[in-house]
Structure formats: C-alpha cells, structure tokens
C-alpha cells in the first residue's frame, strides 16, 4: 500500500524525529511505498494569504474560500499546495507525527491543513455545499493515523485529567480535519511526558508505535458518526434518539 | 484601562476586519488605551524554529523549550517576540478576533502563541515546573475576550451539533492557552454563518459585540477550575468528589 507521513518538528534528533524514522523503517519492512512531507525541512509556508493566489486580482478583497476554490478548479494553485494534494490522493494511508504544542497541532501543520485543504477539494466537495462531509469526501476510505508526543503526563490527559482528554483536545484534527473529507481515523497513538523519557521508555514507545503501524490497514477506526448515515437527519444536529444522554464531542462517536 | 487586540485575518474589509474596527471604536469610546497586533499586516512569523534563537549553538540539537527559556531569561529573544510579550504585560485585557478555520485558530495565531509563550514566561513560571499554571502565572488577573466568526450555522456548534460545541472546540485556546498563564477568560463571542450575513445581521453582530465589550471589565469570567484551588489535590486529576458524574472537558468548569 502507499503511505504518506506528514511530520512537523524542527529537530531531526528529537523524539518526534526518532519516531518518524522508526515509522519509516517499520512501514518499509511491511512492504509499503512511502512518501514523507517533512514540513520544517520543506520550509512549508504556514500562512494562507494573497500570495497563494497569484491569479487573484489585487483590486478585489481576498476571500480565502472563493480564491482557493477558483485556484483549485482552474489549476492555478501554488505549486507546493498542489504537490501536497497529489500526495494525499496518491496515499492509501496518512501518518501524522508531531508534538502537541499548546494542546493542538504545531502552527506549521495547522497551516498545512489550511493551505492544502482548498475549497472544492477538501470542503464544498462535488457541489460546493456541505452535502458531502464527515465521512464522505475527496479522501474517502483513506486511513489516518495520528502519532503525537506530549509534555504532560498520561494522567494529565486522562478522563478527568487537568489538561482534558487527548482525544477531545485533538477532536478538531481527527473529526474536524481528517474525518471531514472522508478519512477513516484510527485511535490516537501518544507518547506522554516526552521530556522525561529514558532509554527503556523510548524502546517501549518505538515498539508500541511499530505494533500499531503493522496493523495500519486492519485496525478498527474510531467510529465517528457519518453526516449522511442517518444520525443527523437535517445534517446539523444529532437526532433525539441517538445517544440521548450525551452531548458535546463524545456524542459524535458511535 | 489598557486593551490589546490580537487580530488574525488577511482581508481588512472582511467580517473579521469589520468586527476588529468596531471593537476599536467601542473600546476607544469607553476611554481605554489601545494597542493592536494585526498579525497579517505585521507579517507575523508563524513558525518557531532555530532562527528564533540566534544565540543557540548550531552544533547542539534545538530543544524549543530550553532554547526559548534561555532566550527569555537572557534577553536574547527575537525582537518581535519580546515586543508581543511587552504588549501582554502592558494590557489589562486582551481581545482576540479571528475566524474559526478547521475548528481552531488560524495558523498565524497558533504560531503567535507558540513563539510568544516562551518557557519561563508563559509556562515553567517562577520555578521551571508546572507548579503555577491554570489560573496562576505571568498573565494573572488579565482578562481575555475571544471573538470568533464561523462558517457553519449556530446549530452546527450546538450541544449536539455535528461540529461539536464551540466552547469545547476552542478549549485548547481558552483553557489551554489563556487560562493557563492566569488570564480570566470571558465567555466566547461568536458570529456564525459568516458567509451568509446580510446587512441587518452585520448590524446585529456589531451591536452585540459592542455590548459585550462595554462589559469587558465587569462580566463574569468562565469558571475554569484553578490547578491550585483544591480541586486537583495532586495537580493532575480532579478529586473524586468534584463533579463526580462528569468527565472530559466540561469537568474543568465549575
């Protein structure tokens, strides 16, 4: 199969760099074809702005939605954006490796999403509306694997840990950015207390990551509810009879 | 009082630009002193990397935590970072105005947090540990006001709306980045379905924002639980007797 690794850390010898290298090794041993988007090495442009749309007229105010949709449909996108979209279309699975910074993805990865996810590509699929999203879209059926390191202890990210649960903090990524255009999102892989990891801890982390990656194409994905699967009759709100006792982010997992 | 507006949108005539201008007008009429960090206009560098730490030796691997802490404590930070820290220390309240992009803050604003929030400044306060955070820190007592626009309808962000509740999607910002170093965070102000706002809707939005800003220094903040207030006896996990029936993000609001 074909696997794209999207990696966001400035330091090759960091824990994140080590885990990325280990993922590459394991995935290669498994016989997969590989591409890597090393965002720091690529000096990825993190900020979406008018420079992304050279064909956009300076005389009209920039609307990122329409400008990105026009650039996408007319083949006038920034080259780096088009290349990343091609990698996404090529891949059967995408592995994300990054540190949790201020309880979310690093800015360089957030900016990768913002620029690569053009209108009519990742949203407004097919008809420009929200008709196809959350379980259907351009990346339908591809698998997404999120591997993250944290500074805090595992307890801090527990169900009642002070930071909040990791899967809820990363819901904007897993549900909002990966499931949205159709990806099947596997449970998050996390290495906690990264600064305090000793040699044995690093070995255990690499081993655990390797085991997860060997099951990349067979593991059961998180059961996010599909917009058009019947649970949201009006495409906006969960039907009253679906998990009636739950509200908030957990209500969107079956 | 002194108010800093941190604004992140590329288009001055956008809804976000209009709301930012309106906020400036109202706050000025209220007699406050004002500063604005217009991140796009400033061409804010969004990505934290080795260039931020000119005194960091190229021969040792970059560790952002230690490099930022050393630069902060030795006065060798990047100039733009030091200027933003000064603005934060100057302000009695900080107003954030931005569009919700992929269910979070724009990359340029995420990068503002990552670069301005140096170690020993925004975290590792006083002693380098986590002893003082979530309700105590360098920005203790200052007020934070988050004003956000969304593409989706209000229903999509309702308690059982398909996107998830806005206050939970933005918990990494409000709790994780603003309450963390001590700010008192006011309830989020949101304008939904931004693309479909007509003239009457814009008037209503400006009026509602103005009313909220007139109460900037008297409104009741969100009651996030303080790390050292007694609810987290070990500084990691909520005590069993605190809201025993709740887990996840809502458990951290009293």
Residues of A in contact with B165 (CB under 8 A): 247-249
User: pLDDT tens for residues B218-248?
Assistant: 999 999 999 999 999 999 999 999 999 999 9
User: pLDDT tens for residues B105-137?
Assistant: 999 999 999 999 999 999 999 999 999 999 999
Q: Please give, rounded to a whole number of angstroms, the shortest distance from the CA of B240 to a CA of chain A.
A: 9
CATH level 3 topology of A2-221? Rossmann fold (3.40.50)
Interface test with B, best of A102, A135, A244, A254 (most B CBs within 10 A): A102
Q: Please give, rounded to a whole number of angstroms, the shortest distance from the CA of A116 to a CA of chain B.
A: 12
pLDDT at A54: 83
ipTM of the complex: 0.98
Residue B65 CA to residue B114 CA, distance in Å, equals 10
Mean pLDDT, to the nearest integer, of B203-219? 98
Under an 8 A CB cutoff, do B47 and A108 touch?
Answer: yes
- Is the pLDDT at A60 greater than 90? The verdict is no
Under an 8 A CB cutoff, do B106 and A117 touch?
Answer: no
**Residue A143 CA to its chain's centroid (Å):** 10
SS3 A6: strand
Q: Please give, rounded to a whole number of angstroms, the shortest distance from the CA of A30 to a CA of chain B.
A: 31
User: pLDDT tens for residues A24-40?
Assistant: 999 999 999 999 999 99
Under an 8 A CB cutoff, do B235 and A62 touch?
Answer: no
Interface test with B, best of A118, A171, A193, A244 (most B CBs within 10 A): A171
How big is chain A, counted in residues?
Answer: 254
- Is the pLDDT at B57 greater than 80? The verdict is no
Under an 8 A CB cutoff, do A164 and B249 touch?
Answer: yes
Domain boundaries, chain B: 2-221, 223-254
Residues of A in contact with B168 (CB under 8 A): 168, 171, 248-249
Q: Please give, rounded to a whole number of angstroms, the shortest distance from the CA of A154 to a CA of chain B.
A: 9
């Amino acid at each position: 199969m074909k696997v794209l690794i999207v990696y966001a850390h400035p330091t090759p010898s960091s824990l994140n760099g080590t885990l990325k290298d280990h993922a590459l090794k394991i995935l290669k041993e498994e016989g997969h074809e590989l591409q890597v988007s090393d965002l720091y090495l690529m000096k990825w442009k993190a900020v979406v702005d008018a420079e992304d749309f050279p064909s956009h007229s300076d005389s009209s105010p920039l609307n990122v939605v329409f400008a990105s949709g026009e650039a996408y449909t007319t083949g006038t996108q920034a080259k780096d954006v088009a290349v990343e979209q091609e990698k996404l279309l090529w891949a059967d699975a995408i592995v994300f490796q990054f540190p949790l910074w201020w309880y979310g993805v690093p800015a360089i990865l957030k900016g990768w999403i913002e620029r690569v996810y053009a209108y009519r590509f990742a949203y407004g699929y097919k008809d420009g509306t929200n008709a196809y999203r959350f379980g259907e879209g351009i990346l339908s059926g591809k698998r997404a694997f999120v591997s993250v390191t944290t500074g805090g202890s595992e307890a801090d990210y527990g169900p009642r840990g002070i930071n909040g649960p990791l899967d809820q903090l990363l819901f904007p990524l897993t549900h909002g950015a990966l499931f949205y255009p159709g990806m099947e999102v596997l449970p998050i892989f996390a290495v906690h207390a990264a600064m305090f990891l000793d040699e044995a801890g690093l070995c255990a982390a690499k081993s655990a990551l390797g085991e997860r990656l060997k099951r990349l194409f067979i593991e059961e994905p998180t059961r996010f509810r599909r917009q058009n699967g019947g649970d949201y009759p009006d495409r906006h709100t969960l039907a009253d009879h679906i998990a009636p006792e739950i509200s908030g982010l957990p209500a969107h997992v079956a």
